[in-house]
A and B are shown apart, each in its own frame.
Chain A
Amino acid sequence: MCLAIPGRVIEVFQDRGLRMARVDFGGTVKKACLEQLPEAVLGDYVLVHVGFALSVVDPAEAERTYRFLEELGQLDEIHMPEGPA
């Protein structure tokens, strides 16, 4: 129910007084309401739930979290080659 998916904003337009977007989810394009996400611009990745954009994905935070996880264990491998697995 709380399923929300990140997609890329490929068009921004107005519809009946609401700021709307077309959002590309890996080839599937759907409309989403951008009204409560004024900072979102063309090219941003936004998290969409039931046709409503909730948040802009922060690329720097995504990179930081992922790098941190990718590097898990590497310090052990460098400094403690005989350490427990």
Chain B
Amino acid sequence: MKYLDEYRDGRVAAKIRSEIGRVTTRPWTLMEVCGGQTHSIVKHGVDRMLPSQIELVHGPGCPVCVTPLEQIDKAHAIASRPGVTFASFGDMLRVPGSHTDLLRLKSEGADVRIVYAPLDAVRLAQQHPDREVVFFAIGFETTAPANALAVTQAAALGIKNFSMLVSHVLVPPAIAAVLQSPGNRVQGFLGPGHVCTVMGYREYEALAAHFQVPIVITGFEPIDLLDGVLRTVRLLEAGKVELQNQYSRIVTRAGNVAAQRLVWSAFEVCDRKWRGIGTIPKSGLRLRYELQEYDAERRFDVGAMETLEPAACISGQILRGLKKPHDCPAFGSACTPERPLGATMVSAEGACAAYFAYGRHRQEATR
């Protein structure tokens, strides 16, 4: 496929790899922010193409992973109600809450639907006026415009049997939280290409300047990721702090302004709890006051839920780049994608699940 296949070309990858080797003189620790990048890195073995001095640690950018357990429990409470059709992106279905998961609820008779696009959930509400259709609106800034469109469409069309359980998160406050963690090791970032497609990268220029850390907005294919590493290492080696845009075929400095306008027409910034990390100030989105009637938490009055995470799970440290999956004694034994203990194992884009899927729980011991 055009704009995909050429960014997987082994010949070009080999050139970048040798250039990274040539410019690297010291150890450097880089973090890729986005879970999609983590998945691609582990799938294609990008981290293993790098000189031993370059370590990639994996960031908090997997929205399924960081959705707090109580939001998942609320989803399950709402989906269990009679008369409710609960619509969700597919990757949320297997994520276990305190007691169950959406797939199990579905097998027990709950009306749980997978939707590809948030607009499909609005169509469901139109087609089934006798049902309360609830959409689980999770994601980073990449997904926010599509989710915003769903609720603004419902409002514009006067659809009353539609609501959203919102658990949206924002990347820049999470990068700041990583950099402010005691013991932070991250010296440079591969920035989240698709988040910046929407938001542009002015916020990341400010982060780079404030924390004196190079950030390279990076794409998702192996060659993009290698190029992102090369650019970041060059900046680090030269002692330069700046923002570069590796993903210039997609990302512009201003981003998609129309999409941003749509996002702010539906959402406002709020404090948000991140699974494994805790509450980060001003790190989430909630529905604007004018759209509160579409807020499923209000409509179904699920209230506050107390939850307890397993003590053995070190996902909070993994999400901040302080540890890696095989540093955890439970990884691959007590904790697997089938029976995850915490955030980084619950989604295919979580660092632990990606390591597990590509056999790293078996290979690391022999490396």
Q: Is B16 a contact partner of A62 (Cβ separation < 8 A)?
A: no
B248 nearest CB neighbor, chain A only = A61
A62 to B219, CA, bound (A): 12
A78 to B62, CA, bound (A): 44
A1 to B349, CA, bound (A): 7
B246 nearest CB neighbor, chain A only = A65
Within 8 A of A (CB), among B235-258: 246, 248-252, 256, 258
Within 8 A of A (CB), among B340-355: 347, 349
A-side contacts of B35, CB under 8 Å: 1-2
Q: Is B256 a contact partner of A2 (Cβ separation < 8 A)?
A: no
B71 to chain A, nearest CB (A): 15
Question: How many residue pairs at the A-B interface have CB separations less than 8 Å?
Answer: 142
A55 to B220, CA, bound (A): 15
Question: Counting CB contacts under 8 A, is B194 at the interface?
Answer: yes
A35 nearest CB neighbor, chain B only = B149
A48 to chain B, nearest CB (A): 9
Contact of B3 among A36, A54, A57, A84 (CB under 8 A): A57
**Helix, strand, loop or mixed for chain A's interface?**
mixed
Known contacts A1-B347, A16-B157, A50-B116; is-contact A69 B12 (Cβ 8 Å): yes
B138 nearest CB neighbor, chain A only = A1
B-side contacts of A16, CB under 8 Å: 153, 157
A1 to B119, CA, bound (A): 17
B-side contacts of A62, CB under 8 Å: 3, 249
A85 nearest CB neighbor, chain B only = B18
Interface bracket on B: 35 or more
Q: Is A33 a contact partner of B146 (Cβ separation < 8 A)?
A: yes
User: Which of A25, A35, A65 counts the most B-chain CB atoms under 10 A from its CB?
Assistant: A65
Q: List 24 A-B residue pairs with CB atoms under 8 Å apart, sorted by A's residue number.
A: A1-B35, A1-B36, A1-B62, A1-B138, A1-B140, A2-B139, A3-B194, A4-B197, A5-B1, A17-B156, A18-B119, A18-B149, A35-B262, A50-B143, A52-B118, A54-B145, A54-B197, A55-B197, A55-B251, A57-B249, A66-B12, A72-B12, A72-B16, A73-B19
Chain A residues within CB distance 8 Å of chain B: 1-8, 16-18, 25-26, 30-31, 33, 35-38, 45, 47, 49-52, 54-55, 57-59, 61-62, 64-66, 69-70, 72-73, 84-85
Beyond the given A1-B138, A58-B250, A69-B15, could you list 9 further A-B residue pairs with CB under 8 A, ordered by the A residue number? A1-B349, A26-B4, A33-B146, A35-B262, A36-B256, A52-B149, A66-B6, A69-B12, A72-B19
